[in-house]
Structure 1
Amino acid sequence: GNIAMEPFRAFVTDKLPDSQVNRGFIMQSLMIGLGGTIASSLPWLMQNVFNVANTSADGSIPKNVQYSFFIGAFFFLSAVLYTVFTSKEYPPDVLPDGGIAEKEKRSFASGIAEITDAVRNMPSQMKRVAVVQFFTWPGLFLMWFYYTTAVAVNVFKGVNDQDPTYSHGADFAGLTLAFYNVVTFAFAFILPSIADRLGRRVTHALCLLCGAAGLISVGWVSNPNMLYVCMTGIGIAMSSILSMPYAMLSGSLPRNKIGIYMGIFNFFIVLPEIIASLGFKHVMRYVLHNDRMLAIQLGGGFLVLAAVICYFIVKDKPENELQTVKLEIEEARSI
């Protein structure tokens, strides 16, 4: 999913002037929120509308979840293929600002060398935003890993996945996750005006704090309906997470290397996921004693840390790097 999404980020900066980048990335956030709402609701819809079983006697994945994944995979592939065959992009030798891209024969070795060189010469603004990303995504991963089970066990008092109470709690958790995607979708409409008024850095930091409050407060929920309030904070944060980091990068990346830098930027989403997948089970066992609710609240702590880093380290307008990009463009035009 991450690999497929990153070229879409480059499309925005390729096709839009800087004055429209905020809205371009936020439009992506809006559509991701809409799709996420439908996806999170599918297990509930499968059971309550199409009467597909949400439990499994042999402990396998319930049919309502299986069918939801099949439907999601179909639409995911269809959307990617539609974009590939219908979207126009600038030829690689002509950039939208009139610059001329370098032409050279490519090989696997030269590709590795180019990536290595790009990492070595990463713009300072990208380094700052990458640190924010590195601490943002563990918070989200912990929510995705443990939220459904925590709600089913801690809030609904279910015993295991064969317990109807547990299944009901898991389905309800799916509805609240769908709700945060609704908030992501709705908040995307007002996020541009907030970013224009406060700046991208402050806007993103505040949104991350909303998400942190949402995750941390889950631990004190006794009435399941209060989870919708918690997920409101997550939806606000997610709307910004899907747009503001990329908007903060715009203008600081060389135009002829946006694609490669967007790919490198994706490292700072994937690496925390790999670290969490491989190592967090030990934290759960020996530190948190398998308390999933504490894991979710720890995720909120990661979002607080990301917000603090964003506010104090990231710059709204890295003027020195913008000047560097302008010089690169002028040099390309003179060739």
Structure 2
Amino acid sequence: MDMQTNTLKPRLSFWQLWNMSFGFFGIQFGFALQNANTSRIFATLGASPDDLPTFWLAAPVTGLLVQPIIGYLSDNTWHPTWGRRRPFFFLGAVLAAIALFLMPNSSAVWMAVLLLWMMDAAINVSMEPFRAFVGDKLDASQQTAGFAMQTFFIGCGAVIASLLPMFFSDVMGVSNVPVDGAIPDSVRYSFYIGGLVFLLAVSWTVFSADELPPPDMARFQAQRRHARNFGVALREIVGGFAHMPKTMVQLAFVQFFTWIALFSLWIYTGSAVADNVYHTVDAQSAAYQEAGNWVGIMFAVYSGVSALAAFILPVLARATSRKTCHTVCLAIGGLSLASLFFITDKHMLMVPMIGVGIAWASILTMPYAILAGALPASRMGYYMGLFNFFVVIPQIVSGLLLGFLTKHLFEGHTVRTLVLGGACMLLAAVLTTFVTDNAKQAGAK
């Protein structure tokens, strides 16, 4: 199997990197609204904290099914105008925009769960090919910079999206209180803006960036005809597990514990802050909704830090190594997440968010940069999609176990669940030290 090598590709300018990455601004706009507000929507519609992880299972299960399939399909797609990855960018953006418009109009928990499923599937259709897009277009010497540019836009999109509910309530005077169990207007309007931004940002990349055609079109066409056979496609999708590169297997363990930590952060920060700082567990109360807005600011801080750190991490990686950089960032993030247990002043909550932001920047950059150098060039999309298994499997495990642990081991105090998440991120830092990075083969650290 041919491995990804340092084949000659045009070196892209800053603005070309900008255009090919800008779609991630919209993608993360959608993810940030989902991460900061979904538990709040569920709670407002009557869900109990114990049930939140189960309802969140829709998201990782969707990713588990969608990402490797979309990756496989995009590997075997080529259109003279649309290219290989961009058709999937655009289709996912249209569907995600629709889901974002519908989500805050849910009238029951079951409806919100179904729309979360739709929204996450659509976002995954757009997002998965973006990772392979970097491997397709960039020489190995620019791949870390390419993923860092994506991380920058992820941070920028998340900052703005996370602040929208508070902007509407505090600046625009829009109601932030649920009436008759309905989602507050501040949240609804935020999702409407999110749907529009998602579609426009992804469209920018679709229409401003081009793609390199397959170097051997005749061979590519033959492979595509072969891939259209359903049995062949199924065997190749499933069989990829047996042929994962060593580096990918090692990173899988790192990702597993990293994403348990992140899932606990997204599910439980709202209720933990409401309980630990605002001293309420009543989702219909004004204090609970105020806590929800404050969590939006917290998430904006860590996203903003990640946007800034995105440009520093490549420098640190060159000075040390990508593996060392990721190890240190995960350790900082784990300690920061666990420290939320000790903080009861809302303003002090911003301090650990700085550490979480540093970790988040590295999580979005370093594993993918390390992995890109270890993958077959012809199956970049598929393996990037398969790699997502090790993002969604820990989320499924979390969905099945965290509610039980929170109720029976932590006596309903979700801030203790965040401490568990911090411990998992620290374990991920330790496991990173065992990863084999082929960076030196690409002429970089």
What is the TM-score of this pair, normalised by structure 2? 0.68
- Between stretches 186-195 and 61-70, larger displacement belongs to 61-70
Contact map agreement 2:302 2:354 (CA 8 A) in 1: yes
Q: 1:187 aligns with which of 280, 305, 309?
A: 309
Distance 1:217 1:279 in 2: 22
Distance 1:155 1:13 in 2: 44
| 2:232 maps to 1:110 | yes
Matches within 5 A, 1:1-335: 1-92=123-214, 94=216, 101=220, 103-104=222-223, 105=225, 106-311=228-433, 313-317=434-438
- Between stretches 162-171 and 4-13, larger displacement belongs to 162-171
Contact map agreement 1:30 1:185 (CA 8 A) in 2: yes
C-alpha displacement of 1:4 = 2.1
What is the TM-score of this pair, normalised by structure 1? 0.89
Distance 1:14 1:294 in 2: 43
Q: Which amino acid aligns with 1:65?
A: V
Gaps in structure 1 of 5+ consecutive residues: 324-335
Gaps in structure 2 of 5+ consecutive residues: 1-122
Distance 1:247 1:235 in 2: 18
Contact map agreement 1:59 1:161 (CA 8 A) in 2: no
- Between stretches 71-80 and 211-220, larger displacement belongs to 71-80
Contact map agreement 1:142 1:299 (CA 8 A) in 2: yes
The CA deviation string for residues 224-246 of structure 1, in whole angstroms up to 9 with x for no partner, is 11111110000000000001000
Contact map agreement 2:402 2:417 (CA 8 A) in 1: no
- Between stretches 239-248 and 15-24, larger displacement belongs to 15-24
State the match for 2:37 in structure 1. none
Distance 1:75 1:103 in 2: 38
Q: Which amino acid aligns with 1:49?
A: V
The CA deviation string for residues 65-90 of structure 1, in whole angstroms up to 9 with x for no partner, is 12212221222233333333443222
Q: Which amino acid aligns with 1:133?
A: Q
Distance 2:281 2:376 in 1: 54
Two-structure CA RMSD over aligned residues (Å): 2.0
Alignment length (residue pairs): 317
C-alpha displacement of 1:113 = 1.4
- Between stretches 71-80 and 114-123, larger displacement belongs to 71-80
The CA deviation string for residues 32-63 of structure 1, in whole angstroms up to 9 with x for no partner, is 00000001001101101211111113233212
Distance 1:308 1:94 in 2: 42
Distance 2:405 2:125 in 1: 28
Q: Which amino acid aligns with 2:273?
A: V
Q: Which amino acid aligns with 1:267?
A: F
